[in-house]
Amino acid sequence: MSMTLYYMPGACSLAPHIALQEAGLTFDTLRVDGKSKTTADGQDYLRVTDKGYVPALRLPDGSVLTECIAVLQYIGDHSANAQLSAPDGGASRYRVSEWLAYISTELHKAYGPMFNPAASDAEKQRALDALAKKFSWVEDALGDRKFIVGETFTVADAYLFTVLGWTKFIGLHLDKWPTLQRYHAAIGARPKVTAALKTEGLIK
Ligand SMILES: N[C@@H](CCC(=O)N[C@@H](CS)C(=O)NCC(=O)O)C(=O)O
C-alpha cells in the first residue's frame, strides 16, 4: 500500500507534500474540504482523523499519522536521502528538530489571530507585530546560508517555506526581510517544490 497525504491547498500540509516530493517516496494526495470535512473522493475526513485538520499521512500499514512535525520526521526518516532529516549526520538531527519546533510553535501558530474571523483588529495587529519580530530573528539566524540547517535541504526548509508563503494572505510583505525573501524564492524554485505547488493548484 502506498502512502496518502491528506491536504488543503497551501495549508501546512504543503510542508509534508514538499518533503514527500524531495524524499522521492511513492505517495498519493487527497484533497480535503475544510468546511465540510470531506475528502475529494467523498470520505468523511473525521473518520480519517478526528482532529479534523491537515496534514494527515496514511502510512503503508494503513494507520494514520498526524501533526506536521511527526509527519515531516517520518518522511525524512523513510527517505533514501538521509540528509532530509539529518543533513550532516548525527547531532544535526536535533538542529532539524529544534527548527521544526520553532516553526510550529513560534511561527505557524502565531498566524492564528490573522486567520481567525473572530479576532479583533487589535488582536490581529498584536499578532502581526509579534510575527514580524520573529521574522527578523529568523532573518538573522539564516544569514547568507541557503538552508536553515546545514548545507542541504531538510524537512525544516519545507516547513519554513510553507509558513513564509502565508505572509501574502495577511498583508505582511517579505520585502521587509530581504534574506527571507531571497530564501523563499530560492526554495520555491526547486523542481520538487514546484511539483508540489502545481499539484495543489497554487501555481500553473
Ligand atoms: N497541530 C497541527 C495543526 C495543523 C493545522 O493548523 N492545520 C490547519 C491548516 S495549516 C487546518 O487543517 N485548518 C483547517 C481546520 O482546522 O479546519 C499540526 O502541527 O499539524
CATH number (domain holding residue 54):
3.40.30.10
CB distance 67 to ligand 1 below 6 Å: yes
pLDDT of 87 reads 85
31, 90: one domain = no
Among protein residues, the one with the nearest Cα to ligand 1's atom 15 is 53
Phi and psi (nearest 5°) for 197? -65, -40
99, 176: one domain = yes
88, 176: one domain = yes
Range of the domain at 165: 84-190
For residue range 150-190, list pLDDT tens digits in order.
Answer: 999 999 999 999 999 999 999 899 999 999 999 999 999 99
pLDDT of 2 reads 86
Helix (H, G, I), strand (E, B) or coil at 42: coil
Whether this prediction's pTM lies above 0.85 is answered by yes
Among protein residues, the one with the nearest Cα to ligand 1's atom 16 is 53
Which residues, other chains included, contact 47 with Cβ-Cβ below 8 Å and sequence gap of 6+? Answer: none
Q: Per-residue pLDDT for 192 more than 90?
A: yes
Instruction: Kindly report the CATH number assigned to the domain that includes residue 161.
Output: 1.20.1050.10
CA of 46 to the centre of ligand 1 (A): 13
Burial of 85 (0-12, 13-18, 19+ CB in 10 A): buried
Element of type H or E holding 162 = helix 155-165
CB distance 24 to ligand 1 below 6 Å: no
- Number of structural domains the chain divides into: 2
Measure Cα distances from 68 to 11, 60, 146 in Å: 11, 18, 22
